[in-house]
Amino acid sequence: MIKLKSKDIVYRTDASQIIGNPLKVVIPKTINEVTNIVRLNQKIIPRGGGTGLVGGCVPNEGVVIDLSKLNKIIRFDERRKKIEVETGIVLDDLNEFLDNYSLEFPVKPSSHEVCTIGGMIATDAVGSRAIKYGKTSKWIEWIEIIDSQGKIIRKGKAEISDFTGLEGITGIIIRASLKLSPKVKRSASIISREEISDIIDIVREIRLNSEISMIEFFDKKVSGLLGLEKKYNLLIEYESDSGELKGDAYNRIMSLRDSTYPILAEKGYSRIEDPRMFLDKISDLIFWLEANKIPTFGHLGVGILHPCFSKEQEKKIPDLMRIVKRLRGQVTGEHGIGLLKKNFLDKTEKKLYESVKKRNDPKNKFNPEKII
Amino acid sequence: MKNKKEDVKEIVKVDEEIKKDQKKEEIEINNIEDEIQGIVDGCINCGLCKSLCPVFKIMEEEYYSPRGKAIMFSERFIDKIVFECNLCKACEQKCPLKIKVWEAVRNAREVLNLKGKELEANKEMMDNIRQTGNPFGKGDKKTDKLYCC
Ligand SMILES: Cc1cc2nc3c(=O)[nH]c(=O)nc-3n(C[C@H](O)[C@H](O)[C@H](O)COP(=O)(O)OP(=O)(O)OC[C@H]3O[C@@H](n4cnc5c(N)ncnc54)[C@H](O)[C@@H]3O)c2cc1C
Ligand code: SF4
Ligand code: SF4
């Protein structure tokens, strides 16, 4: 590896901690600049907040294009609950603006304070409120992308699937029109149980309750680390004041929830995975994880778990993927594929990605070596 | 009167002392760099600290973020960008792992000072303090009282 001796070192990695090497870093202030960069360069790595966990914006000699300064609100229609933005805008900054109108963009990854709308669209981010609000793509009206020739093209609802969740391999998403949701008062409760079967029963019973917007799960080990009762715990968010934790207590528990992965990473469990499973298969997976001393938490309401592996445990990841597939789950529920999960795609999935890539970026200009 | 031999001896002695001082300084720099690396050692690159850093909020470039600084320090790379920090400790407050990036920044400034690579404005400020006792160079009298933060 080339030893970079410039401050561009900071762009050689993201939250995945995989190390790459940028040939150049550019931080455009206008969309015009982005189109020029695309026209003039052969290998482009789009980057938003750099919170991706699969190495999606880790460069291998290409030009990193940091879109953080393209963060303007272009148009806001309060009555129709729609907003047009440049995609470098940070989710929480957008929601701070919308708070004045009692509206919000409701999809909420735990990285909401720093992740950008562009990164969320590119990974089709899910987050803790998925049970009620689904994925990011559900809230997109249209996007504008810059294609490999540097042309700006608008893609309507029916065409966005070539870009949402494609992790920047098909073009740079530069503007988006987003649908908004009314902001509601929220509260939360914690339910603790000794047996995993009781936890699954509770989730099955409450997950269709429209008052509930989040069902988060923490296994016994994670619960202990977070200072919760050392049992299996569910954190349930209500879109009403039905929960016991309100106001400051609600804010505190939500912020603790957002810190779960960093706290585990600090204890050495820094490799986070995100399999998605049917609820009736999840306890099998949890038993396997416990037997292997792999702590886990996740958005149980939608079947996404986050097992976190220490360096020594990483060799067990292929086993995890095999088990997930055997139990008819998906190897990634929200973080994407990037560099880390390429090897776990099956032939059909690979072919699908390859054909979308070919259709949109035949010269392999955007984010090469990612996903496929 | 000294003869030529004594002159040479003296020069050699001074030279050795300079070398010793340089060696001492190198060791000191190395120690501080170790310390800096140690401070950011646990950083997991999550980026959550960016949300509260006032410098990053204005500059909007990863170089200025606490995470960016932590990445540089982890590779023992120290740039003048360390002077772009308020030492406000907001990063530590936000960081789930309580990494003290501000402390690493303060130490990194010391390294740049020892290497003679501080900013012109800093040099001027330190000269002012030495000459007038305050960072603004106000007053013309040399004083033994220093007025600084
Ligand atoms: C502490 C923590 C908690 C997290 N929690 C969640 C969670 O709950 N749910 C979840 O889904 N994810 C989560 N993530 C992962 C990550 O935050 C999300 O994937 C997020 O959507 C990435 O946004 P970003 O702006 O940081 O994108 P980046 O990391 O900058 O980029 C991610 C990918 O998108 C591409 N990209 C970025 N911007 C654009 C653009 N404008 N056009 C084209 N491609 C682009 C990049 O090339 C890369 O492949 C978490 C991460 C951390 C560190
Ligand atoms: S101490 Fe420096 S790096 Fe940390 S938040 Fe303040 S300005 Fe940013
Ligand atoms: S300093 Fe803390 S908050 Fe910032 S990137 Fe490192 S671990 Fe995350």
**Tens of pLDDT, residues A240-289:** 999 999 999 999 999 999 999 999 998 999 999 999 999 999 999 999 99
Predicted local confidence at residue B22, as pLDDT: 81
Task: For residue B97, count other CB atoms closer than 10 A to its CB.
Answer: 17
Query: What pLDDT does A1 receive?
Result: 47
From the CA of B93, how far away is ligand 1's center (Å)?
23
Check if A7 contacts B (Cβ < 8 Å). yes
Q: Do A266 and B44 touch (CB under 8 A)?
A: yes
Alpha-carbon distance of A285 to A287, in angstroms, equals: 5
Given pLDDT bands bounded at 50, 70 and 90, which one contains residue B130?
Answer: confident
pLDDT bracket for residue B117 (50, 70, 90): confident
Residue A331 has pLDDT above 90, yes or no: yes
Residue range A89-107, pLDDT digits in tens: 999 999 999 999 999 999 9
Of B46, B68, B75, the CB nearest to A51: B46
| Interface predicted TM-score (ipTM) of this complex, two decimals | 0.92
Closest-CA residue, ligand 1 atom 11, reads: A125
DSSP chain B: ---HHHHHHHHHHHHHHHHHHHHHHHHHHHHHHHHHHHHTTT-----GGGGT-HHHHHH-SGGGSHHHHHHHHHTT---GGGGS-----HHHHH-TT---HHHHHHHHHHHHHHTT---HHHHHHHHHHHHHSSTT--SSS--S-----
> In the 3-class helix/strand/coil scheme, how is B98-139 assigned residue by residue?
CCCHHHHHHHHHHHHHHCCCCCHHHHHHHHHHHHHCCCCCCC
B44–A262 CB contact, under 8 Å: yes
State the pairing for strand pair A103-104/A140-146: unpaired
pLDDT tens-digit profile of B28-60? Answer: 999 999 999 999 999 999 999 999 999 999 999
All residues of chain B having their beta carbon less than 8 Å from the beta carbon of residue A262 are 44, 46, 48, 95-97
Nearest residue on chain B to A47, alpha-carbon basis: B62
How close is the nearest chain B Cα to the Cα of A119, in Å?
14
Contact A50 B47 (CB under 8 A): yes
A30 and chain B in contact, CB less than 8 A: no
| Low-confidence winner among B47-51, B68-72, B81-85, B114-118 (lowest mean pLDDT) | B114-118
Q: pLDDT at residue B100 above 50? A: yes
> What pLDDT score does B144 carry?
64
Nearest Cα neighbor of A164 from A138, A190, A184 is A138
Residue nearest ligand 2's atom 3 by CA: B66
Please tell me if residue A5 touches chain B, with a CB cutoff of 8 Å.
yes
Q: Which chain B residues contact residue A14 at CB under 8 A? A: 45, 47
- What are the structure tokens assigned to A280, written together? 């009736």
Q: Which residue of B has its CA nearest to A268?
A: B42
Do residues A12 and A4 touch, judged by C-beta distance below 8 A?
Answer: yes
Is A87's C-beta closer than 6 angstroms to any atom of ligand 1? yes
Scan residues 94-133 of B and list those with Cβ closer than 8 Å to A. 95-97
Is B58 within 8 Å of chain A by CB?
A: no
The residue in chain B having the minimum alpha-carbon distance to the alpha carbon of residue A28 is B61
Residue A228: what pLDDT?
96
List the Cα angle B49/B53/B59 in 5-degree steps.
120
Q: What is the pLDDT of residues A229-239, one digit of tens each?
A: 999 999 999 99
Residue whose Cα lies nearest atom 4 of ligand 2: it is B91
Whether A29 and chain B come into contact, CB under 8 Å, resolves to no
Average of per-residue pLDDT values in chain B:
88
pLDDT score at B148: 53
At residue A123, the pLDDT reads 98
Q: What is the spatial distance between Cα A250 and Cα A241, in angstroms, rounded to a whole number?
A: 11
**Is B93 a pocket residue for ligand 2 (Cβ < 6 Å)?**
no
Q: Tell whether B77 is within 8 A of chain A (Cβ).
A: yes
Q: In whole angstroms, give the CA distance from residue A182 to residue A105.
A: 9
**Would an 8 Å CB–CB cutoff place A23 in contact with chain B?**
no
CA nearest to A260, candidates A206, A290, A305, A292: A305
Question: Could you tell which of B37, B46, B64 is best to mutate to test the pocket of ligand 3, judged by most ligand atoms within 8 Å of the CB?
Answer: B46
pLDDT value, residue B145: 62
Hey, is the C-beta of B75 within 8 angstroms of any chain A C-beta? yes
8 Å CB contact of B60 and A69: yes
Statement: residue B1 has pLDDT above 60: no
The encoded tokens of residue A35 equal 């189109």
Q: Say if ligand 3 is within 6 A of residue B99 CB.
A: yes
- Specify the pLDDT at position A97: 98
Query: Could you say which ligand is closest to the alpha carbon of residue B104?
Result: 2
CA distance B125 to chain A (A): 26
Alpha-carbon span A163 to A359, nearest angstrom: 11
- pLDDT per residue over A27-76, tens digit each? 999 999 999 999 999 999 999 999 999 999 999 989 999 999 999 999 99
Taking residues A342-368, what's their average pLDDT? 95
Q: Which residue has the tokens 């410039």?
A: A6
What 8-state DSSP symbol labels residue A178? E
**Residue nearest to ligand 1 atom 36, measured at CA:** A119
Per-residue model confidence (pLDDT) at position A33: 97
What integer pLDDT is reported at residue A260 of this predicted model?
95
As a whole number of angstroms, the distance between CA A41 and CA A220 comes to 50
The dotted CATH code for B4-132 is: 1.10.1060
**B97 → closest Cβ in A11, A17, A266:** A266
